[in-house]
Amino acid sequence: MAIGVALFSSLLVLSFVSPISSLSSNYYDKTCPNAELIVANAVKNAAMKDKTVPAALLRMHFHDCFIRGCDASVLLNSKGSNKVEKDGPPNVSLHSFFVIDNTKKELEASCPGVVSCADILALAARDSVVLSGGPTWDVPKGRKDGRTSKASETTQLPAPLFNISQLQQSFSQRGLSMEDLVALSGGHTLGFSHCSSFAGRIRNFNTTHDIDPSMHPSLAASLRGVCPSKNRPKNAGTTMDPSSTTFDNTYYRLILQGKGLFSSDQALLAVPKTKDLVEKFAGSHKEFTDAFVKSMIKMSSITGGGEVRKDCRVVN
């Protein structure tokens, strides 16, 4: 989900976050009844022009929720010396913020000061999954937008090089279980990764192996071609799986073949609990999508914030 080494100094941050929320599915029924339709249309229109938009919005929502809860802090712009989350190393590759901006403008015209940026992002993530052929679900609403965003806190995002114990700790600190970890990792079925997120697996892995022995040799050879050690193109990388614009369970089948892209993907086979879940989701698309929906609702209900921004890039 992220790039870079994560540190677990999150107790302070978690004091700003409440896993118990007063969200409801009918939150805007009276105050902004067309809110969901406006978001869905904006995401659809953007995705028609750029097929990478759905993966970008889903990743953006993950990265928002893992720091200070789902409070749209990832959307804020830096001001002066205050560097915000979107400028932290794991987030510099986030994109498609314009989709949220355009949606917010439409919502402000329709029902000013009502729909939070955090809710827009949660709805956009759901709509992105649906547009990619994945499941739909009823998104609980009523999140508020945060006023604090710090680039330094992005070190707490789960990183591609994490082992299973680091992943478990990162998720459990946010009230998320091992099943949530495996189900939400399935979001990696969408999108693209730059070489930097897996370069350590394909060259100079350790003193014994040049290539990570848990990686299938054919994948390693392919990635070494895509990511040369010298004269590498700036945006070199590869899709997360061959069906990178389709929400499916290919991700789990690849892990079982030793073809997970990140160390954190392949790490899901390290202990019986998560390995069993990988095998279950690889064998059943329905088992995966049912678990993914349940975990997405759980993650997106980690709340923070206290206002409804007029502009998603700046606090009121």
Q: Indicate if 215 and 292 belong to the same structural domain.
A: yes
Q: Which two tokens stand for residue 235?
A: 């945006």
Give the pLDDT score at 12.
Answer: 37
Q: In whole angstroms, what is the distance from residue 292 CA to residue 187 CA?
A: 8
Nearest alpha-carbon partner for 81 in 151, 19, 169, 31: 151
| 194 counts as catalytic | no
Residue 236 is which amino acid? A
Q: Within a domain: residue 112?
A: yes
Residues 195, 130, single domain; the answer is: no
Of the candidates 190, 288, 193, which has an alpha carbon nearest to the alpha carbon of residue 245? 190
Q: Please, which residues bridge with residue 239 across strands?
A: 192
CATH number at residue 190: 1.10.420.10
252 neighbors 243 (Cβ within 8 angstroms): no
Residue 241 counted as an annotated binding residue: yes
One domain, residues 150 and 187: no
Structure tokens at 260: 């997970």
Consecutive H or E run containing 193: strand 192-194
Asked whether residue 285 is marked as a ligand-binding residue, the answer is: no
**Residue 176: strand, helix, or coil:** coil
Q: Do both 200 and 290 map to the same domain?
A: yes
Structure tokens at 229: 């050690």
Does 112 show up as a binding residue in the annotation?
no
Contact partners, residue 194, CB within 8 Å, separation at least 6: 3, 93, 235, 236, 237
pLDDT at residue 289, as a whole number: 98
Residues 100, 138 within the same domain:
yes
Range of the domain at 217: 164-296
The pLDDT assigned to 21 comes to 54
- DSSP-assigned letter for residue 18: B
Whether 308 is in a domain gets the answer no
Q: What is the pLDDT of residues 168-189, one digit of tens each?
A: 999 999 999 999 999 999 999 9
69 assigned binding-site residue: yes
Asked if 50 and 129 sit in the same domain, the reply is yes
Contact 249, 187 (CB under 8 A): no
Is 248 annotated as a binding-site member? yes
- The domain that holds 48 is classified in CATH as 1.10.520.10
pLDDT value of residue 89? 94
Question: 1 near 55, Cβ under 8 Å?
Answer: no
Distance CA 23, CA 89 (A): 31
pLDDT (0 to 100) of residue 231: 85
**Encoding tokens for residue 111?**
């029902």
Q: Is 73 annotated as a binding residue?
A: yes
Q: Is 188 marked as a binding-site residue?
A: yes
Report the candidate in 23, 274, 83 with the shortest Cα–Cα distance to residue 171. 274
With 0-12 / 13-18 / 19 or more C-beta atoms within 10 angstroms meaning exposed / middle / buried, residue 122 is buried
Task: Please check whether residues 171 and 266 belong to one and the same domain.
Answer: yes
Residue at 249 is within a domain: yes
In a domain, 184, yes or no: yes
Closest to 164 (Cα-Cα) out of 267, 311, 274, 304: 267
Q: Do 194 and 91 share a domain, yes or no? A: no
The answer to whether the annotation marks 258 as part of a ligand binding site is no
CA distance 189 to 260: 10
CA dist 78 → 83, 97, 246, 315 (Å):
5, 14, 33, 11
Residue 73 and residue 199 in one domain:
no
Does 168 map to a domain? Answer: yes
With tokens 């949660």, the residue in question is 122
81 and 213 both lie in a single domain: no
Distances in Å between the Cα of 142 and the Cα atoms of 5, 24, 302 are 33, 7, 12
107, 125, 157 - which closes a domain: 157
Q: Domain for residue 34, yes or no? A: yes
Backbone angles phi, psi at 152, to 5 degrees: -60, -25
The CA-to-CA distance between both ends of the chain, in Å, stands at 29
Counted domains in the chain: 2
Domain finish residue from 135, 157, 179: 157
In a domain, 225, yes or no: yes
The answer on 39 and 175 residing in a single domain is no
Catalytic residue among 63, 95, 194, 216: 63
The list of the chain residues with pLDDT below 70 reads 1-21
Last residue of a domain, one of 137, 157, 177: 157
**pTM (two decimals):** 0.92
pLDDT at 234: 85
At 13 the pLDDT is: 42
**Inside any domain, residue 2:** no
Same domain? For 53 and 117 the reply is: yes
Which token pair is 63? 């990265």
> How many angstroms separate the CA atoms of 297 and 244, rounded?
23
